[in-house]
Amino acid sequence: MQIRQSSNDVQFRDQVRAFLDQSLTDELRDAGRKRTSGWQEINSSMAWQRILHAQGWAAPDWPVAYGGTDWSLTQSYIFAEECAARMLPGLFR
C-alpha cells in the first residue's frame, strides 16, 4: 500500500529520525535487537522510556491531559514505524 504523506508528515518524520539518531545509544540498539515478542530486558526498556519522557514522547497515544503527545494517527504511525525500523526496546503502555 502506498501512503501519501503531507509535507508536515515528512517534516515530522525527519524530526523523529533526528531525535532517534541523536538519542539512541549502542546499548539501546543492542537491547532492541535482542528483544523478542514475549521478552525484553527491563533496564534498557526503562532507560528508553526515560529518554522519551524527557522529550515528551513517553505516552504517544495518550491524551495530552495525561501526558500524551496529541499526535495525529499518521504521526503516531510514523513514530511507531521509525522505532520498529530501528528495533528499539518496547514501551510499557
Q: How do residues 21-51 score in pLDDT, each as one tens digit?
A: 999 888 888 887 777 666 667 788 888 889 9
Q: Is residue 9 part of a domain?
A: no
- The answer as to whether 10 is a domain residue is no
Q: Is residue 25 part of a domain?
A: no
Alpha carbon distance 67, 91 (integer Å): 14
- The reply to whether 80 falls in a domain is yes
Residue 44, domain extent: 40-93
Is there a domain that residue 11 lies in? Answer: no
The model's pLDDT over 60-87, given as tens digits with 9 standing for 90+, comes to: 888 888 888 999 999 999 999 998 898 8
Q: What is the pTM assigned to this prediction?
A: 0.84
| Count of domains for the chain | 1
> Mean pLDDT score of the chain, rounded to an integer?
86
Residue 27, all three cell numbers: 546499548
Domain assignment present for 51: yes
Residue 6 located in a structural domain: no
CA distances from 43 to 1, 14, 38, 69, 91 (A): 36, 28, 16, 24, 12
